[in-house]
Structure 1
Amino acid sequence: MKLQVAIDLLSTKDALTLLEKVAEHVDIIELGTPLIKQEGLAVVTAVKAAYPNKIVFADMKTMDAGALEADMAFKAGADLVSVLAAAGDSTISGAVDAAKKHNKGIVADVIGVLDKATRVKQLKALGVHSVELHAGLDEQAQAGYSISKLLEAGRGADIPFAVAGGVNLDRITEVEDAGASVAVAGAAIYGAADPGAAAKALRAKIKNLG
């Protein structure tokens, strides 16, 4: 399993400052949607230039113009780009076509999809690189939220999947045991008093590193 840091900060400077502390402990650097909206795709270029050997994931959450938006992000330096699983099949197929052109990958984010199991099967047929079983910040803030629902959906997935939404030191082993190929940690890293130590501790809990 790989460790992915989700950077939900709002400036390129802050993202690079965080990465100075955590990059050595993570496999994938995710540039969050708010960060890309604030800074544009220039943040993708800057991070890829600073960390050329890391997988850089542009969390675009594309809902339309799949081929165009994916192409833009790949040209900026992204290795992976996200589309929303709720998007139309033509949007997802367009993004997948762009990924093939660049020899890169599309991650389908199932945030907001109610029947995740069915959609995951459809996404596999559409040729996505992987799926992200994701509970957003608003969902996590609701009473009764549990990461267990995401893990349950993952156990039936016949495609590489990431888990995002409450991954922390207490839950990362459970995420790996569910078969995830990627554990995504956001606030557990960037919100820690010592982000570097937090990322290192999370990585140490992974039994089979990707």
Structure 2
Amino acid sequence: MNRSVLQVALDLVEIDRAITIAGEAVLGGADWLEVGTPLIKSEGMRAVSALKSAYTDRLIVADMKTADTGAIEVEMAAKSGADIVCVLGSSDNSVIAESVRAGRKYGVKIMADLISVPNPSVRAGELEKLGVDIICAHTGIDQQMIGTDSLDLLMKVIKEVSIPVAAAGGISEKTASGAISAGASIVIVGGSIIRSSDVTESTRRIKNAMNRPAPYTGPDKTSDDEIREILSYVSSSNVSDAMHRKGSMTEMKPLCSGTKAAGKAVTVQTFAGDWAKPVEAIDTASEGDIIVINNDQGVNAAPWGELATISCINRGVNGVIIDGAVRDVEGIKKLQYPLWAKAMVPNAGEPKGFGEIGSEIQCGGQTVSSGDWIIADESGVVVIPKNRAYEIARRAKEVYNTELRVREELRQGKTLAQVMNLLRWEKHP
């Protein structure tokens, strides 16, 4: 191939939205338009035909992810207007060979997708020998969520074949540049473009990055830094969606309107308003942490007040969550400190020193361990288990970006029911 190609993956489920977004991407410089697997499963071959009719000057890729009946599926896609048909690289050799033969017959190219192939470097060579035209070094969404780097796969594969290789899987401006530098002929981008509030500009930025290849040096943030950055702009609602409605505390109310907190939990178990361990936890906490307190035995005495809050501010503690009561409300509100509690009372407990710092506790109906991540805003408080924090943060980012695109379509005049195509997906008896 004489130039690098930007392929935009239209991983949507509605034809009309796909056509609109495709048009915006074309304005930004998209070269190939991919009818994504979700769109094909939702709308069938008419999605391929519709995209081809709307954009006759662009190559159309049908991401069939064919695993069997290669000849039939390639024929379907080709006759519907596809120029390139994508099959699964993990398919049996007989399926690949039959797809290649059908591709030659109907004048379309065959792209083999290496998603989840156990030994991608070896399989890429085998696929080239079987006659496929393009290898797709693809890191799947679920793999991306746990931190698998898509360019690692690309670099393993590209030296094993002489046919064009496409890079796919969470590609950004930085990784697009790195992919071209590593030798990719095609960069496939989905979410970074189709979920953008400005599809045209996002496409243009990716395309410009591809025109300025630079060696990829790996992630520029630690996983903790990336989690913290994502949680700084997504909402507790985004995180709840990413966790399939898990992790949300009950009855927690923000004391100060408009505040938000995100950070690692420092857990405290205390009893009947005993404020010794909650206050001692301030000295234990690191900058950016959140103190999470279970005040067992009711809400009649508060284990927390204004002086403890001032101490938190001095230490750089990001916020406090109390399964119990808080006092000195006026003073804390003046400080506009991020604090969530179940109740407000004037009564203080006694500093007897009962309880423990760092143990597993219950708070707002959720189990919390020190080191779990907390996000809290006016919608509520959500606990993210530390062993899934990176994955959940990245999934929340996907939810956030999807909503950006929906907001833009609402701004353009659609109703939410139209954007979400609710009538189509309603259950009927």
TM bin (shorter chain): over 0.9
The 5 A counterparts of 1:36-115 are: 36-115=40-119
Give 1:121's match in structure 2, choosing from 99, 120, 125: 125
Give the letter for the 1:138 counterpart: D
Structure 1: which amino acid aligns with 2:149?
S
Residue 14 of structure 1: aligned partner:
17
**Which amino acid in the other structure matches residue 136 of structure 1?**
G
Q: Distance in 1 between matches of 2:137 and 2:154?
A: 8
Further displaced range: 82-91 or 150-159: 150-159
Deviation, 1:103, is: 1.5
Q: Which residue of 2 aligns with 1:152?
A: 155
Q: Deviations over 1:35-74 (max 9, x none)?
A: 1000000010011011111010000000000011111110
Q: CA-to-partner distance for each residue in 1:175-209, whole Å, 9 max, x for gaps?
A: 00110010011011011121110001111122289
| CA root-mean-square deviation | 1.3
Higher relative contact order (CA 8 A, sep 6+): 1
* Contact persistence 2:10–2:22 (CA under 8 A): no
Question: Which secondary structure does the structure 2 equivalent of 1:44 belong to?
Answer: helix
> What is the alpha-carbon distance in structure 2 between the residues aligned to residue 94 and residue 45 of structure 1?
23
Per-residue Cα deviation, 1:107-145 (whole angstroms, up to 9, x for no partner): 000101121111011101111011100011111112x32
Q: TM-score, normalised by structure 1?
A: 0.95
Q: Could you give the per-residue CA deviations for residues 62-98 of structure 1, whole angstroms, max 9, x where no partner exists? A: 0000011111110010000111011011101111111
Q: Tell me the distance in 1 between the aligned counterparts of 2:126 and 2:179.
A: 23
Contact 1:154 1:180 survives alignment (8 Å): no
- The residue that corresponds to 2:170 in the other structure is 166
Structure 1: gaps spanning 5 or more residues: none
User: Contact 1:154–1:179 (CA<8 Å) still a contact in 2?
Assistant: no
Q: Tell me, which stretches of 5 or more residues in structure 2 are unaligned?
A: 214-429
C-alpha distance in 2, partners of 1:84/1:6? 16
1:166-205 map, 5 Å:
166-205=170-209
1:5 aligns with 2:8: yes
Distance of 2:156 and 2:107 partners within structure 1: 28
SS in 2 for 1:171: helix
Q: Tell me the distance in 1 between the aligned counterparts of 2:54 and 2:209.
A: 27
Rounded to whole Å, the distance in 1 between the matches of 2:174 and 2:126 is 32
Determine if contact 2:138/2:150 at 8 Å carries over to the other structure. no
CA distance in 2, matches of 1:22, 1:152: 27
Distance 1:70 1:208, change over 3 A: farther
Name whichever structure is richer in helix by fraction: 1
Q: Specify the code of the residue in structure 1 equivalent to 2:131.
A: G
TM-score (norm 2): 0.47
Tell whether the 8 Å contact from 1:155 to 1:179 is kept in structure 2 after alignment: yes
- Cα distance in 1 for residues equivalent to 2:17 and 2:211: 31
